[in-house]
Chain A
Amino acid sequence: MTSPAASPETSTDVLAVANMPLLWVSALGVFLVIIVQTAIYMKAARRAGPGVGMDRHDLRVSFRSGAVAALGPSVAVVIVALSLLALFGTPGVLVRIGLIGSVAYETGAASIAAGAAGAELGGPGYTQTAFAVAFFAMSAGGAMWMLATLLLTPVLQRSEKRIARLNPLVLTVVPGAALVAAFLSLGIAEVRISAAHTTALVVGGASMGLAAYAASRLSLPWIREWGLGLSILSGLAAAYVADQAGLGLGIS
């Protein structure tokens, strides 16, 4: 723990900053926007329904089907979100992991940004200042991503058709390989820190592989949904054991 006199550049009490009231207000604002959007859609659907033979009962059945189907995936997201609370704080996790971004992109962006600020995400150099830089960079990056997609999709779709005719490999394998490279690189960077980090990486990856294998082998799709959360928890548990065995940074 840090002394109260520590400055933001040295204090690693990230949660004191990450859970500030104003960040809560901003997170609630995003929730509100999505609630308003949902309400507008539902009202529009209710108005259009009679014209296309969709009565109130059908609309309600559709709504309920969607709600029920979302139960599993939503709880799966909750597990992942909870595991990241200590890193990004509750408002940050609610917005970046729960509502807007994806775990993969947000954690990747935060890790790169923290690195640019000379810190390791979650490491001893992950100060309040480093958190602010990482939180800003992941939010701004995500916003740019969505705006660019919104504005450039029509342009890209045209050129995409041309590329697809040239070579299907470009559109299927190359983007996949780029993502694999990004996350393998971010993961292998952790190997440099300690053997306990390596343990978390390997066990997290192995659990994910196991979950995917079990899901397809036993044809239980819920394992695939929950795979990410469960893999992160297994990775954490293994890292804790490794840390206790003296392979890590020696937390306690």
Chain B
Amino acid sequence: MSTSTLGNPPRSMAQFTATTTRAGRLTMIIGLMVSLSGPLYLVLFADLGVTASALLTAFAAVAGTFFIIWLVEPVT
């Protein structure tokens, strides 16, 4: 059934894993930065009266709550 059950995976497969791992990590970081650009624009340039202390309080409250959950959450 399967073609490669013995020995090391063929070189083509090693290449596939390397490409997808690298691309996966890179696109994820770029994606995160792009996803932050919208909210950053809102708070920095849209003149909505957002203060730094309000942002800090809100972020600390969110991060604090979910950090505890993240810490006990099993990594799978």
Contacts and interface: CB of A to CB of B under 8 A. Distances in A.
Query: Taking the complex as a whole, does A directly touch B, i.e. does some CB pair lie under 8 Å apart?
Result: yes
Contacts of B8: none
B43 A30 contact: no
Given A51-B12, A171-B74, A113 B62 contact: yes
* Max chain A C-beta neighbours (<10 A), residue from B42, B43, B68: B42
Contacts of A50: 12
A175 B66 CA distance: 11
Interface string A41-85: 100110111111100000000000000000000000000000000
Nearest to A22: B41
Interface residues of B, number: 53
B56 to A, nearest CB: 9
Q: Is the interface of A mostly helix, strand, loop or mixed?
A: helix
Contacts of B65: 108, 112, 182
Given A100-B35, A143-B35, A8 B49 contact: yes
A193 interface: no
A150 B27 contact: no
Given A52-B12, A156-B75, A175-B74, A133 B66 contact: no
Given A44-B19, A129-B49, A136 B40 contact: yes
B72 A170 contact: yes
A206 interface: no
A212 interface: no
Given A26-B35, A116-B61, A141-B62, A133 B3 contact: no
A47 B15 CA distance: 9
30 contacts: A17-B48, A20-B46, A26-B38, A29-B37, A33-B31, A37-B27, A40-B20, A44-B15, A44-B16, A47-B15, A48-B16, A52-B4, A108-B65, A113-B62, A116-B54, A116-B61, A132-B39, A135-B38, A136-B59, A139-B39, A141-B59, A145-B70, A146-B28, A156-B75, A157-B75, A174-B72, A175-B69, A175-B72, A179-B69, A182-B69
> 3 closest pairs, A vs B, by CB?
A51-B12, A26-B38, A53-B3
Interface of A: 7-9, 17, 20, 22-23, 25-27, 29-30, 33-34, 36-37, 40-41, 44-45, 47-53, 91-92, 95, 99-100, 105, 108-109, 112-117, 128-129, 132-150, 153, 156-157, 160, 170-172, 174-175, 178-179, 182
